[in-house]
Amino acid sequence: MNCNKTIFVKLFLIFGILKSLAQVEMKPEQTEVWEPQPKIITPGFNNHQAPSDAIILFDGSSLENFTNLKGEPVKWNLKDGLLTVVKSMGDIISKKSFGSIQLHIEWRSPSMIEGEGQGRGNSGIFFQNEYEVQIQDNFNNKTYANGQAAAIYKQQPPLVNACRKPGEWQTYDIIYNAPKFYLDSTLASPARVTVIHNGVLVQNNYEIKGKTLWQGMPYYKAHGKAPIKIQEHGNPVSFRNIWVRELD
Ligand code: MG
Protein backbone atom coordinates (compact mmCIF):
# COMPACT_ATOMS: atom_id res chain seq x y z
CA MET A 1 0.00 0.00 0.00
CA ASN A 2 1.47 3.34 -0.92
CA CYS A 3 1.62 6.30 1.47
CA ASN A 4 -1.40 8.19 -0.04
CA LYS A 5 -3.60 5.13 0.18
CA THR A 6 -2.63 4.54 3.82
CA ILE A 7 -3.52 8.12 4.74
CA PHE A 8 -6.84 7.84 2.95
CA VAL A 9 -7.77 4.63 4.79
CA LYS A 10 -6.84 6.16 8.15
CA LEU A 11 -8.88 9.29 7.48
CA PHE A 12 -11.82 7.14 6.42
CA LEU A 13 -11.66 5.13 9.66
CA ILE A 14 -11.32 8.25 11.81
CA PHE A 15 -14.28 9.88 10.08
CA GLY A 16 -16.37 6.74 10.67
CA ILE A 17 -15.50 6.63 14.36
CA LEU A 18 -16.26 10.35 14.82
CA LYS A 19 -19.61 9.92 13.07
CA SER A 20 -20.54 7.02 15.36
CA LEU A 21 -19.51 9.03 18.43
CA ALA A 22 -21.65 11.97 17.28
CA GLN A 23 -24.69 9.69 16.98
CA VAL A 24 -24.09 8.23 20.41
CA GLU A 25 -23.45 11.60 22.02
CA MET A 26 -26.66 13.18 20.67
CA LYS A 27 -29.17 13.40 23.50
CA PRO A 28 -32.69 12.04 22.90
CA GLU A 29 -34.06 15.54 23.56
CA GLN A 30 -32.15 16.90 20.57
CA THR A 31 -34.53 15.09 18.18
CA GLU A 32 -37.72 16.11 20.00
CA VAL A 33 -39.92 18.83 18.43
CA TRP A 34 -42.06 20.71 20.96
CA GLU A 35 -43.22 23.79 19.13
CA PRO A 36 -45.57 24.47 17.55
CA GLN A 37 -47.96 22.04 19.21
CA PRO A 38 -50.79 20.72 16.97
CA LYS A 39 -54.04 22.59 17.41
CA ILE A 40 -56.43 20.75 19.71
CA ILE A 41 -59.79 19.78 18.19
CA THR A 42 -62.61 17.53 19.33
CA PRO A 43 -63.11 14.53 17.07
CA GLY A 44 -66.61 13.65 15.96
CA PHE A 45 -68.60 10.85 17.56
CA ASN A 46 -67.94 7.45 16.01
CA ASN A 47 -65.47 9.01 13.53
CA HIS A 48 -68.46 9.91 11.30
CA GLN A 49 -69.84 13.07 12.85
CA ALA A 50 -68.06 16.32 12.15
CA PRO A 51 -65.03 17.20 14.28
CA SER A 52 -64.96 20.62 15.92
CA ASP A 53 -62.94 22.27 13.13
CA ALA A 54 -65.09 21.03 10.24
CA ILE A 55 -67.30 23.10 7.94
CA ILE A 56 -70.68 21.41 7.92
CA LEU A 57 -72.21 21.42 4.44
CA PHE A 58 -75.25 19.30 5.21
CA ASP A 59 -76.51 18.08 8.57
CA GLY A 60 -80.04 17.21 7.51
CA SER A 61 -81.63 20.46 8.58
CA SER A 62 -81.36 22.67 5.49
CA LEU A 63 -79.91 23.09 2.02
CA GLU A 64 -78.63 26.59 2.71
CA ASN A 65 -75.04 25.68 1.85
CA PHE A 66 -75.88 24.60 -1.72
CA THR A 67 -77.44 26.03 -4.87
CA ASN A 68 -78.21 24.63 -8.29
CA LEU A 69 -75.86 25.52 -11.14
CA LYS A 70 -77.78 28.74 -11.79
CA GLY A 71 -77.29 29.90 -8.21
CA GLU A 72 -80.93 29.21 -7.34
CA PRO A 73 -82.25 27.19 -4.38
CA VAL A 74 -81.73 23.43 -4.64
CA LYS A 75 -84.73 21.55 -5.97
CA TRP A 76 -83.69 18.12 -4.69
CA ASN A 77 -85.78 16.44 -1.99
CA LEU A 78 -85.03 17.25 1.66
CA LYS A 79 -87.00 14.91 3.91
CA ASP A 80 -86.39 13.29 7.31
CA GLY A 81 -82.89 14.76 7.40
CA LEU A 82 -81.90 13.21 4.08
CA LEU A 83 -81.13 14.85 0.77
CA THR A 84 -82.24 12.89 -2.28
CA VAL A 85 -81.51 13.60 -5.92
CA VAL A 86 -84.56 14.51 -8.01
CA LYS A 87 -84.39 13.61 -11.68
CA SER A 88 -83.95 16.52 -14.11
CA MET A 89 -83.34 19.02 -11.31
CA GLY A 90 -79.64 19.30 -12.17
CA ASP A 91 -76.39 19.15 -10.25
CA ILE A 92 -75.89 21.09 -7.04
CA ILE A 93 -72.82 23.01 -5.88
CA SER A 94 -71.60 24.25 -2.52
CA LYS A 95 -71.88 28.00 -2.04
CA LYS A 96 -68.40 28.04 -0.59
CA SER A 97 -65.35 27.40 -2.75
CA PHE A 98 -62.58 25.09 -1.67
CA GLY A 99 -59.03 24.06 -2.50
CA SER A 100 -57.52 21.07 -0.73
CA ILE A 101 -59.92 19.40 1.67
CA GLN A 102 -60.83 16.37 3.70
CA LEU A 103 -64.42 15.42 2.84
CA HIS A 104 -66.81 13.11 4.64
CA ILE A 105 -70.03 12.18 2.89
CA GLU A 106 -72.59 9.43 3.44
CA TRP A 107 -74.65 8.17 0.52
CA ARG A 108 -77.23 5.51 -0.19
CA SER A 109 -78.16 3.84 -3.46
CA PRO A 110 -81.90 3.51 -4.05
CA SER A 111 -83.25 0.31 -2.48
CA MET A 112 -85.49 -0.09 -5.53
CA ILE A 113 -83.02 -1.47 -8.08
CA GLU A 114 -83.50 0.15 -11.46
CA GLY A 115 -81.24 0.36 -14.49
CA GLU A 116 -77.98 -1.33 -15.38
CA GLY A 117 -74.33 -0.31 -15.50
CA GLN A 118 -73.93 3.45 -15.43
CA GLY A 119 -77.70 3.85 -15.14
CA ARG A 120 -77.94 2.37 -11.63
CA GLY A 121 -77.58 4.59 -8.58
CA ASN A 122 -75.28 7.02 -10.37
CA SER A 123 -74.22 10.32 -8.81
CA GLY A 124 -70.76 11.69 -8.03
CA ILE A 125 -68.72 14.24 -6.19
CA PHE A 126 -66.76 16.72 -8.26
CA PHE A 127 -63.89 18.34 -6.42
CA GLN A 128 -63.37 21.94 -7.45
CA ASN A 129 -66.21 21.41 -9.90
CA GLU A 130 -63.86 19.40 -12.15
CA TYR A 131 -62.69 16.02 -10.83
CA GLU A 132 -65.25 13.30 -10.15
CA VAL A 133 -65.14 10.57 -7.56
CA GLN A 134 -67.90 8.31 -8.81
CA ILE A 135 -70.93 7.38 -6.75
CA GLN A 136 -72.80 4.40 -8.14
CA ASP A 137 -74.58 1.21 -7.13
CA ASN A 138 -72.01 -1.41 -8.08
CA PHE A 139 -73.27 -4.14 -5.79
CA ASN A 140 -73.83 -6.90 -8.36
CA ASN A 141 -73.79 -4.32 -11.12
CA LYS A 142 -70.91 -4.51 -13.57
CA THR A 143 -69.72 -1.53 -15.53
CA TYR A 144 -66.36 -0.32 -16.84
CA ALA A 145 -63.90 -0.53 -13.92
CA ASN A 146 -62.82 3.09 -14.16
CA GLY A 147 -66.46 4.18 -14.03
CA GLN A 148 -67.67 2.24 -10.99
CA ALA A 149 -68.19 3.49 -7.44
CA ALA A 150 -65.07 5.13 -5.97
CA ALA A 151 -63.40 5.32 -9.38
CA ILE A 152 -61.81 8.57 -10.45
CA TYR A 153 -64.23 8.64 -13.33
CA LYS A 154 -62.72 7.47 -16.65
CA GLN A 155 -59.25 7.55 -15.07
CA GLN A 156 -58.65 5.12 -12.23
CA PRO A 157 -60.65 2.12 -10.94
CA PRO A 158 -60.89 1.65 -7.18
CA LEU A 159 -58.39 -0.80 -5.67
CA VAL A 160 -61.32 -2.99 -4.60
CA ASN A 161 -65.10 -2.90 -4.87
CA ALA A 162 -66.24 -2.07 -1.31
CA CYS A 163 -69.90 -1.38 -2.18
CA ARG A 164 -72.65 -2.18 0.27
CA LYS A 165 -76.09 -3.33 -0.86
CA PRO A 166 -78.59 -0.88 -2.34
CA GLY A 167 -80.51 0.82 0.46
CA GLU A 168 -77.59 0.62 2.91
CA TRP A 169 -75.64 3.69 3.96
CA GLN A 170 -72.09 4.01 2.69
CA THR A 171 -69.30 6.40 3.56
CA TYR A 172 -66.60 8.15 1.63
CA ASP A 173 -63.73 9.78 3.48
CA ILE A 174 -61.67 11.58 0.91
CA ILE A 175 -58.43 13.53 1.10
CA TYR A 176 -58.20 15.79 -1.90
CA ASN A 177 -55.14 17.88 -2.70
CA ALA A 178 -55.82 20.60 -5.23
CA PRO A 179 -53.66 21.05 -8.32
CA LYS A 180 -51.30 24.02 -8.46
CA PHE A 181 -50.74 26.22 -11.47
CA TYR A 182 -47.96 28.63 -12.45
CA LEU A 183 -48.76 32.26 -13.15
CA ASP A 184 -48.80 31.46 -16.88
CA SER A 185 -51.59 28.91 -16.16
CA THR A 186 -49.48 25.84 -16.88
CA LEU A 187 -49.65 22.95 -14.44
CA ALA A 188 -47.18 23.06 -11.55
CA SER A 189 -48.47 19.99 -9.70
CA PRO A 190 -51.49 17.77 -10.39
CA ALA A 191 -54.36 17.09 -8.00
CA ARG A 192 -54.07 14.03 -5.78
CA VAL A 193 -56.78 12.06 -4.10
CA THR A 194 -57.08 9.36 -1.47
CA VAL A 195 -60.47 7.69 -1.03
CA ILE A 196 -61.64 5.48 1.82
CA HIS A 197 -64.92 3.72 1.00
CA ASN A 198 -66.73 2.16 3.95
CA GLY A 199 -63.45 2.15 5.87
CA VAL A 200 -61.47 0.58 3.01
CA LEU A 201 -58.67 2.30 1.10
CA VAL A 202 -59.74 2.38 -2.55
CA GLN A 203 -57.70 5.25 -4.01
CA ASN A 204 -54.18 5.65 -2.65
CA ASN A 205 -52.87 9.15 -3.29
CA TYR A 206 -53.85 8.88 -6.95
CA GLU A 207 -52.51 11.56 -9.27
CA ILE A 208 -55.48 12.96 -11.16
CA LYS A 209 -54.81 13.34 -14.88
CA GLY A 210 -57.09 16.34 -15.44
CA LYS A 211 -60.72 17.36 -15.50
CA THR A 212 -63.30 14.58 -15.67
CA LEU A 213 -64.62 14.01 -19.16
CA TRP A 214 -67.16 11.49 -20.39
CA GLN A 215 -65.64 11.73 -23.85
CA GLY A 216 -61.99 12.36 -24.63
CA MET A 217 -58.80 12.46 -22.60
CA PRO A 218 -58.56 14.46 -19.38
CA TYR A 219 -56.54 17.66 -19.31
CA TYR A 220 -55.90 20.50 -16.91
CA LYS A 221 -57.17 24.02 -17.21
CA ALA A 222 -55.94 26.46 -14.56
CA HIS A 223 -58.38 27.38 -11.83
CA GLY A 224 -58.50 28.57 -8.26
CA LYS A 225 -60.73 27.54 -5.39
CA ALA A 226 -64.08 26.24 -6.60
CA PRO A 227 -67.28 24.67 -5.26
CA ILE A 228 -67.88 20.99 -4.59
CA LYS A 229 -70.44 19.68 -7.05
CA ILE A 230 -72.78 16.74 -6.47
CA GLN A 231 -74.09 15.14 -9.62
CA GLU A 232 -77.70 14.57 -10.65
CA HIS A 233 -77.64 11.56 -12.96
CA GLY A 234 -81.35 10.79 -12.89
CA ASN A 235 -81.17 8.28 -10.02
CA PRO A 236 -82.63 9.01 -6.54
CA VAL A 237 -79.38 8.64 -4.57
CA SER A 238 -79.63 9.96 -0.99
CA PHE A 239 -77.09 11.85 1.10
CA ARG A 240 -76.54 12.75 4.74
CA ASN A 241 -73.82 14.09 7.00
CA ILE A 242 -71.58 16.03 4.63
CA TRP A 243 -68.67 17.93 6.13
CA VAL A 244 -65.26 19.17 5.06
CA ARG A 245 -62.02 20.30 6.65
CA GLU A 246 -59.93 22.77 4.74
CA LEU A 247 -56.33 21.68 4.26
CA ASP A 248 -54.88 24.76 2.55
MG1 MG B 1 -71.40 9.92 -11.76
Domain CATH number, residue 89: 2.60.120.560
Whole-number Å distance, alpha carbon 34 to ligand 1 midpoint, is 45
Q: What is the pLDDT at residue 245?
A: 98
Which pLDDT score is estimated for 9?
A: 66
Look at residue 35 and tell me if it is in a domain.
no
| Residue 122 forms part of a structural domain | yes
Report the length, in residues, of the chain: 248
Q: What is the pLDDT, as a whole number, of residue 18? A: 61
Taking only the tens place, the pLDDT of each residue in 123-177 is 999 999 999 999 999 999 999 999 999 999 999 999 999 999 999 999 999 999 9
Distance 136 CA to ligand 1 centre (A): 7
Please count the structural domains in the chain: 1
Q: Is residue 20 part of a domain?
A: no
What distance in angstroms lies between residue 161's CA and the mean position of ligand 1's atoms? Answer: 16
Q: Which pLDDT score, from 0 to 100, does residue 12 have? A: 65
Measured in Å, residue 150 CA sits from the centre of ligand 1 at 10
Query: pTM of the entire structure?
Result: 0.89
Q: How far is ligand 1, taken at its centre, from the CA of residue 56, in Å? A: 23
Cα–Cα distances (Å) from 159 to 35, 93, 149, 205, in that order, read 38, 28, 11, 12
Residue 55 falls inside a structural domain: yes
What pLDDT is attached to residue 10? Answer: 72
Q: What is the pLDDT along the chain (248 residues), one digit of tens a residue?
A: 455 666 666 766 666 666 666 667 899 999 999 999 999 999 999 989 999 999 999 999 999 999 999 999 999 999 999 999 999 999 999 999 999 999 999 999 999 999 999 999 999 999 999 999 999 999 999 999 999 999 999 999 999 999 999 999 999 999 999 999 999 999 999 999 999 999 999 999 999 999 999 999 999 999 999 999 999 999 999 999 999 999 99
Cα–ligand 1 centroid distance for 122 (angstroms): 5
State how far the Cα of 103 lies from the Cα of 52, in Å rounded to an integer.
Answer: 14
Q: What pLDDT score does 2 carry?
A: 58
Residue 18 lies in a domain: no
| pLDDT value of position 1 | 47
For residue 19, the model assigns a pLDDT of: 67
Residue 10 belongs to a domain: no
Which residue range forms the structural domain that includes residue 122?
45-246
**pLDDT score at 216:** 97
Q: Is 19 within a domain?
A: no
Contact by Cβ (8 Å): 27, 43? no
Residue 15 is assigned to a structural domain of this protein = no
Residues around ligand 1, an ion, CB closer than 5 A: 122, 124, 134, 231
